[in-house]
Amino acid sequence: MRFHLAFIASALSAVTVSSFAPAVGRSGPSAARASSSLQMSEDADTITLGIFGGGTVGGGIVEILSRKASYFKQLTGKNIEVRKVCVRDASKPRDFDLPEGCSIVTSYDEILDDEDIDVAVEVMGGTTDAKDVVVGALKKGKSVVTANKALIAKDLPEIEELLLSLDGTAQFRYEAAVCGGIPIIRSMQSDFVGDEIRLMSGIINGCTNFMLTAMDRDGKSYDEALSKASELGYAEADPTLDVGGFDARSKLKILIRLAYGMDVEEDEISCRGITELTKIDFGYAKTLGGTIKLLGVAERNDSGEVSAFVSPCYVTNDDPLSSVNGATNAIEVISDNLVQSIYIGQGAGRYPTANSCVNDIVALAKGDTTPLPFNPKSTDTKFVNNYESNFFIRLSYRDQVGITRQVGEICEKHGVSIHSILQNPIAKAQESAFAIVTEKVEYAAIVRVLADVEALSWCKGKPFYMPVLREDWQT
């Protein structure tokens, strides 16, 4: 087993103030210098940056570059200089110091139209203005470093087409877009090129992993866990993207392209968050000898078909992913040559994310190039919105005779074999529930079973289900 551990050190150093003008995004025709090589400053010993976004991550990038400037000069042979930081409000105090010769600006064009800036670093977030600056910078011949998973997941084909049309005049780097400080993008671009990836499974959202840890280890309710995550800054004011699984789905889409060479629409990937989980589910998971994690999973079968989903999953206590707690992320890759590789590290935060952006910047300063940043496309891989697994099903009920018989009959009708039926002691009538674990079966069959069960008079609310991560979960 290979363990790739990403430990990110904290740093402190510094930004302040400058001009004020309306921010206007540009994505017009290229005014880039005609060149078949990477654009660089007239000073061959310097690479210059313009950063879009002076918040948490942008400040972290400035701090790391300032603190390690001498080391980076030795490593790359170049001075790495931040010339401009573009922000929405120039009057807002910053928690970092501007390097010498750097200014705060409020117009995107201050960076896009500056021919002396080599690299545009986009850490502003969103998919509208961010797209304008990314596309605009590439068309101007500037290389781009971004941490924007949502933008890449949404517009990957368009970005790829633009990069191909530029014929290597600009580079596109996005290590920080998936799992923050974990170097999974570069690994997918270099470490698995001679390999065949069979399965990827990962804890790829820190907020939900923090919440599930609190529910499992500390006995918190969903609402209590979310409140604590918000208090510590892990959850946004609107946590829907995290708790609904959508953030993880965007990351999974990018990983699917890198691993299998296929572009999948996000809506095609089955996505379920953690909002339906209760203490009851964790109780049954403990009875079975495991816990629950929100995972993004993609797998290629022997026929070459790829399936994927984001969902809470039951994992056993001896599973490598079960002990990954708090806001930590982890990705497991099962492949033919390397067998099992596990990447563990901080998936978000000021310095983990900034560290990955800085690594991309340093790679550009070294002159590293990646002609196909999303890896080559596959022409013979098919995506199927279905997968096989054992499933855990929790059913809440109103007491009456014949409940288990009816469930058994419905399962038999749809070809679902029941492995076991569980029922923990019931302390409160409103918590009346029992659980079923099925044998390995197609997801589509489970959907049909749940639809029929939900229609029964004794069934209270929507049944909850989740896949069991491993086929050999009992061995």
Q: Which residue has the tokens 């469930």?
A: 407
In 3-state terms, what secondary structure has residue 333?
strand
Give the DSSP per-residue string, 213-231.
HHHHHS---HHHHHHHHHH
d(CA 278, CA 433): 11
Is 228 labeled as catalytic in the residue annotation? no
Catalytic residue among 139, 251, 253, 293: 251
Pairing of strands 464-467, 391-396: antiparallel
Tell me if 186 sits within 8 A of 373, measured CB to CB: no
Helix axis angle for 350-366 and 69-76, nearest 10°, is 30
H helices, E strands: number in the chain:
14, 20
Helix axis angle for 403-413 and 443-454, nearest 10°, is 140
Closest CA to 255 of 348, 179, 170, 327: 179
Please report the sign of the dihedral spanned by the C-alpha atoms of residue 190, residue 191, residue 195, residue 197: negative
List the beta bridge partners of residue 465. 393
From the CB of residue 364, how many other CB atoms can be counted at a distance below 10 Å?
A: 25
Point out the residues that are catalytic.
251
